[in-house]
Amino acid sequence: MPLPRTRGTALRQRLAELRGPDVPAKALDARALAALAANPGCARRAILDGAGVNKTALASALGSPSAFGQSQFALTRGNAFEAKVKADGGAELLRLVHEKLDRSAEPPSDARVPDLTATGPQGRTARTELELREAAAHPGAWTLLDHPMLALDVAGSPAFLEPDAVVVHPDGGWTVVEIKSFPLLDGSADPAKVGAAARQAAVYVLALEEVAARLGAERGGAPAPQVRHRVLLVCPRDFSNLPAASAVDIRKQRAVTARQLARLTRIEDIADALPEGTCFSPELPAEELTAAVESVPATYAPECLSACELAFHCRARSRQEGAVTTLGRPVRAELGGLTTVEQVLAAARGEAGDPDDPAVAALRRAAALRAEALEAACR
Ligand code: SF4
């Protein structure tokens, strides 16, 4: 939801100060928005992304450069695969959508593939919306939008997003298509990669829902086009270059991402809690920058390694503090109020902790069993 004008202006000014003088804002893309949903509790990431800070440059300035992003080889391979999937007017892609998501519809032939070229992201967004309106006005046919552009309001500013494709079904429903270069082996793929793709698709679905709501309002009471919550993930089959597809239910990711984006609009609260003069400009000396970054609470988890440019920095800090979050969220959840490795060991040794606390009791039992086993092994 856009921020009220004066509040929005003041917030934008505050975020520009945090970014640093003359540092341009880094636009949020679907990958960044999706990664936010992977670690919804992290205030550090929320404020850095909200302020448009370039986290890759920040991580380098902190002395912990990220090993994040795709290699040139992977990008080239991914582009070649996508071109193959979309060849011949998207015939194979549409066949996969029909097979996996809409078998009861007429098989796609003579699908419309409108030209979406326009000047600038605003122009491309308007062009995409025009074609979606056109498709909604003439149901009964398949339409393939190749690299449409969508806008999503994030903390008062539009983020421009570019899904690989959106397909309009003959019944008027819209499906997001994600084309990835990781393989589908025997019909399944790396769950972490599928999860990241699903979160990314959820961002596109939210943006499409805003378009659908606008078109619905224009139609004066007629139902808005339905944005389907099952997306199509297209990947190379096994180790070949042949496409295989899987329908992915993204309802959960959509709900988490929507919650997280609503929370992003409260970055004002995080900004207000920062010390006066805080600035994340990569031009600052490393010491000053480290203090600025450390002034925002973070919730490091191993998942950050595949989702956030600051992961090496936050992991090092987390390890220094002996935080149990470095061991992963499931372990963290089991340990209740024990937040450091030191506290866990003291509780296991019986030197600290409430014996009635189930986590403390389980640790003492585990320590006793270990001592017993070691004693037996030494006999
Ligand atoms: S790496 Fe750090 S800043 Fe990024 S999400 Fe994890 S804890 Fe937050």
Higher pLDDT, 158 or 57: 57
Instruction: Compute the distance between CA of residue 110 and CA of residue 91 in angstroms, rounded to an integer.
Output: 9
Give the pLDDT band (50/70/90) at residue 371.
very high
CA 328 from centroid of its chain's CA atoms = 19
**235, 90 Cβ separation under 8 angstroms:** no
Pocket flag, ligand 1, residue 280 (CB < 6 Å)? no
User: What average pLDDT score do residues 219-238 get?
Assistant: 89
Residues 6+ apart with CB under 8 A from 253: 34, 37, 195, 198, 199, 201, 202
Phi-psi region of 114 (alpha: psi -120 to 50; beta: other; left: phi over 0): beta
Residue with tokens 């006793």: 368
Ligand 1 centroid to residue 9 C-alpha, Å: 27
Residue from 114, 107, 115 nearest 91 by CA: 107
Q: Residue 8: its pLDDT value, please?
A: 63
CB-ligand 1 contact for 176 (6 Å cutoff) = no
Cβ–ligand 1 contact at 310 (below 6 Å):
yes
Residue 372 to residue 365: CA distance in whole angstroms: 11
Q: What pLDDT sits at residue 46?
A: 85
Confidence of residue 286 (pLDDT cuts 50, 70, 90): very high
pLDDT of residue 67: 72
In 3D space, the residue among 323, 322, 317 whose CA is nearest the CA of residue 63 turns out to be 317
Query: Tell me: the pLDDT tens digits for 93-134?
Result: 999 999 999 999 999 988 999 999 999 999 999 999 999 999
Atom of ligand 1 at shortest distance to CA of 308? 4
- If we measure between CA atoms, which residue out of 230, 196, 5, 3 comes closest to residue 103? 230
Separation of 48 CA from ligand 1 center, angstroms?
A: 10
Measure 304 CA to ligand 1 centroid, in angstroms.
6
Which pairing describes strands 230-236 and 243-249: parallel, antiparallel, or unpaired? antiparallel
List, in order, residues 6 or more apart from 354 with CB less than 8 Å away.
360
Q: Which of 29-43, 84-98, 234-248, 357-371 has the lowest mean pLDDT?
A: 29-43
Q: Is 325 near ligand 1, meaning CB less than 6 Å away?
A: no
| C-alpha 307 to ligand 1 mean position (Å) | 8
Distance, in Å, from the CA atom of 96 to the CA atom of 109, rounded to the nearest integer, reads 13
